[in-house]
């Protein structure tokens, strides 16, 4: 008898083929269509290149960078304070690849129509492979409009921010060709309420924009503390003011910027988030004294847009994995993606994913055309609407996608647990859900033309009676201002769904727009997989399934 035959306990069957090394752009029909629609056709080969990287080496690096969390090293072996955060090499690979491909810089260095859409598409691919590194990448990208307010500082910093070189060394910027930028606003007593900041700025000599000050105080959250500089807020005699705080002083000595500890976070593990103290840190004033919030909001508006990109990306990656699994997994002798109830779930997830992408890309288009005042108003409103809605939808959607994969979706060898852990942060940071909804009310009531811009965009329903009725309902909801704060989430949700329905109708794929409108406007199931009868689920599932294996 051959004993080896007993060592072979079983043959592995009924498991999907690997998705390793897949080009995430080529399998993503909606991304191809939406990026073309909004003017990024010229960047297709760049996006395609990034799709191959994201599905290949960056995906692998993403696992390593999250298995090996950053470590805070306060002192060197001789007892000198160094305030270093050490990252796994995979994190640096993620950062380097993104910076070299222009993720933090493209729309600023090549500001042609479609540049914001193209960058959003690449960022969408990057975040599918690894989202934590997206934090310093987006802050670096977003710092540009705020820094431009202070031309003397911009002249020094922008060439290095926009250089496609990544240099993670803990040295002054005179030694670096490329730098990254962070943002530190939140203090212990108030994150939303930044006006309660107690950090104080003291002038070194002359006062006013561009002048040097010293900061004394703290920040309760400061992500990516190895960035080369941070935009931060501190009080002066004239109120809350924005400052640029470099890690090193111009003479290359360390600035008085002390990391206290790293946060032990639910997710977002590859990215370090810290608590910091400033004990006389040398800073330069950015923008007008006392106008810190309007100055830093130039940065925050962009990071909020990137929360839309990031949450859309997490949902897309979850959908890709779930659709792929179900296309190859049989239960009861039948492939899951052909079983009616699973088709209902997968198609519903596909609708959520595509609607999120549509709104995100439409927002990218608005950023590409800000010189058009209508687009400016649209961007002002939809930054808050989209940040709220898309980020809120992501955790439940990803949970459902993981469940489509059964037990495998709960196991760290798949990316699903990481996507799920990552999802909630986008709705919390950069202004939490309620804050976005209150900002929607502020934009609509205080900024001239925003309400008209919304209803111009929505039009008359684009030939769809259900959307037309939704718009009528929305107009009535805005006319009645009683209890409007109490109703702000419902109003924001209704705006988001109306806009998504309109964009999907405009795109002309009837299975997608009909499915979305039938389930989000006409009927309302409370969990995914409750699409009403008549939705073309087969077409939706096929559209979202990677064609491999």
Ligand X SMILES: Cc1cc2nc3c(=O)[nH]c(=O)nc-3n(C[C@H](O)[C@H](O)[C@H](O)COP(=O)(O)OP(=O)(O)OC[C@H]3O[C@@H](n4cnc5c(N)ncnc54)[C@H](O)[C@@H]3O)c2cc1C
Q: Which residue is it, tokens 């929607």?
A: 440
What's the closest the beta carbon of residue 138 comes to ligand X, in angstroms? 11
Q: Is 434 in the site for ligand X (CB under 6 A)?
A: yes
Q: Which stretch binds ligand X (CB under 6 A): 141-149, 179-187, 346-354, 517-525?
A: 179-187
Q: Is 432 in the site for ligand X (CB under 6 A)?
A: yes
Q: Which of 190, 203, 210, 406 binds ligand X (CB under 6 A)?
A: 190
Dihedral over Cα of 23, 24, 28, 30: its sign? negative
Residue 497 near residue 352, CB atoms below 8 Å: no
Residues near ligand X (CB under 6 A), total: 25
What's the closest the beta carbon of residue 59 comes to ligand X, in angstroms? 22
| Torsional class of 287: left (φ above 0), alpha (ψ -120 to 50), beta (otherwise) | left
3-state helix, strand and coil shares in percent for the chain, rounded to the nearest 5: 55, 15, 30
What is d(CA 222, CA 220) in angstroms, rounded to the nearest whole number? Answer: 7
**For ligand X, which is the closer residue by CB, 16 or 433?**
433
Q: Which stretch binds ligand X (CB under 6 A): 48-56, 176-184, 285-293, 375-383?
A: 176-184
Q: Is 265 in the site for ligand X (CB under 6 A)?
A: yes
What is d(CA 218, CA 198) in angstroms, rounded to the nearest whole number? Answer: 8
What's the closest the beta carbon of residue 427 comes to ligand X, in angstroms? 9
Q: Which stretch binds ligand X (CB under 6 A): 24-32, 285-293, 426-434, 501-509?
A: 426-434
Q: Which stretch binds ligand X (CB under 6 A): 162-170, 216-224, 242-250, 522-530?
A: 216-224
Q: Which residues contact 295 (CB under 8 A, 6 or more apart)?
A: 146, 149, 241, 242, 286, 287, 288
Q: Is 429 in the site for ligand X (CB under 6 A)?
A: yes
Give the pair of three-digit tokens for residue 281: 């840190």
Q: Is 211 in the site for ligand X (CB under 6 A)?
A: no
**For ligand X, which is the closer residue by CB, 265 or 328?**
265
Q: Is 426 in the site for ligand X (CB under 6 A)?
A: no
Q: Is 425 in the site for ligand X (CB under 6 A)?
A: yes
**For ligand X, which is the closer residue by CB, 36 or 265?**
265
Q: Which of 41, 290, 433, 459 binds ligand X (CB under 6 A)?
A: 433
Q: What are phi and psi of 222, to 5 degrees?
A: -145, 100
Q: Which of 223, 241, 255, 426 binds ligand X (CB under 6 A)?
A: 223
Q: Which residues pair with 232 in a beta bridge?
A: 184, 243
Residue 377 near residue 481, CB atoms below 8 Å: no
What is d(CA 141, CA 427) in angstroms, rounded to the nearest whole number? Answer: 19
Q: Is 339 in the site for ligand X (CB under 6 A)?
A: no
Determine how β-strand 181-184 pairs with β-strand 229-236.
parallel
Q: Is 183 in the site for ligand X (CB under 6 A)?
A: yes
What is d(CA 509, CA 486) in angstroms, rounded to the nearest whole number? Answer: 36
What's the closest the beta carbon of residue 148 comes to ligand X, in angstroms? 20
Q: Which residues contact 531 (CB under 8 A, 6 or more apart)?
A: 344, 347, 348, 351, 515, 518, 519, 525, 537
Q: Which of 97, 127, 186, 312 binds ligand X (CB under 6 A)?
A: 186
| Number of residue whose CB is nearest ligand X | 191
C-beta neighbour count of 448 within 10 angstroms: 8
Q: Is 431 in the site for ligand X (CB under 6 A)?
A: yes
Determine how β-strand 71-75 pairs with β-strand 229-236.
unpaired
Q: Which of 268, 321, 344, 426 binds ligand X (CB under 6 A)?
A: 268
Interface residues with ligand X (CB under 6 A)? 182-186, 190-193, 221-223, 265, 268, 273, 425, 428-435, 438
């Amino acid at each position: 008898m051959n004993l080896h035959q007993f060592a072979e306990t079983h043959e592995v069957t009924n498991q999907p083929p690997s998705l390793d090394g897949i080009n995430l752009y080529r399998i993503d029909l909606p991304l191809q269509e939406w990026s073309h629609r909004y003017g990024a056709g010229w960047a297709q080969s760049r996006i395609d290149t990034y799709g191959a990287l994201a599905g290949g080496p960056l995906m692998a690096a993403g696992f390593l960078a999250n298995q090996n969390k950053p470590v805070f090293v306060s002192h060197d072996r001789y007892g000198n304070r160094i305030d270093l955060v050490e990252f796994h090499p995979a994190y640096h690979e993620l950062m380097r690849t993104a910076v070299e491909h222009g993720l933090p810089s493209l729309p600023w260095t090549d500001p042609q129509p479609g540049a914001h859409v193209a960058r959003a598409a690449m960022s969408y691919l990057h975040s599918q492979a690894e989202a934590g590194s997206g934090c310093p990448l987006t802050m670096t990208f977003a710092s540009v409009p705020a820094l431009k307010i202070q031309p003397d500082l911009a002249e020094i910093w922008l060439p290095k921010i926009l250089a496609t070189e990544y240099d993670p060394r803990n040295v002054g910027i005179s030694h670096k060709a490329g730098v990254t930028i962070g943002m530190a606003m939140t203090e212990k007593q108030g994150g939303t309420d930044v006006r309660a900041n107690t950090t104080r700025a003291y002038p070194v000599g002359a006062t006013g924009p561009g002048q040097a000050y010293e900061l004394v105080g703290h920040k309760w959250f400061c992500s990516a503390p190895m960035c080369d500089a941070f935009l931060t807020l501190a009080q002066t005699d004239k109120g809350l003011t924005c400052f640029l705080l470099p890690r090193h002083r111009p003479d290359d000595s360390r600035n008085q910027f002390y990391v206290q500890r790293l946060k032990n976070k639910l997710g977002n593990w590859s990215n370090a988030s810290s608590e910091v103290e400033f004990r006389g840190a040398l800073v330069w004033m950015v923008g007008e004294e006392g106008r810190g919030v309007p100055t830093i909001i130039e940065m925050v508006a962009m990071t909020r847009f990137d929360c839309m990109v990031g949450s859309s990306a997490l949902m897309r990656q979850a959908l890709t994995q779930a659709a792929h699994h179900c296309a190859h997994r049989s239960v009861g002798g039948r492939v899951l993606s052909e079983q009616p109830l699973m088709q209902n779930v997968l198609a519903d997830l596909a609708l959520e994913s595509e609607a999120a992408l549509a709104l995100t890309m439409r927002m990218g288009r608005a950023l590409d055309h800000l010189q058009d005042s209508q687009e400016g108003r649209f961007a002002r409103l939809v930054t808050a609407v989209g940040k709220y809605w898309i980020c809120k939808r992501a955790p439940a959607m990803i949970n459902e996608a993981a469940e489509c994969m059964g037990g495998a979706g709960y196991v760290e060898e798949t990316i699903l647990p990481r996507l799920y852990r990552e999802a909630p942060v986008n709705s919390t940071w950069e202004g939490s859900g309620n804050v976005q909804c209150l900002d929607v009310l502020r934009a609509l009531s205080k900024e001239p033309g925003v309400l008209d811009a919304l209803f111009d965009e929505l039009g008359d329903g684009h030939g769809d009676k259900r959307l037309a009725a939704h718009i009528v309902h929305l107009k009535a909801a805005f006319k009645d201002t009683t209890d409007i704060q109490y109703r702000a989430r419902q109003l924001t949700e209704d705006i988001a769904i109306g806009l998504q329905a309109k964009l999907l109708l405009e795109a002309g794929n009837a299975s997608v727009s009909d499915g979305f409108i039938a389930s989000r406007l006409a009927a309302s199931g409370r969990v995914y997989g409750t699409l009403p009868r008549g939705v073309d689920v087969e077409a939706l599932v096929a559209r979202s399934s990677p064609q491999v294996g």
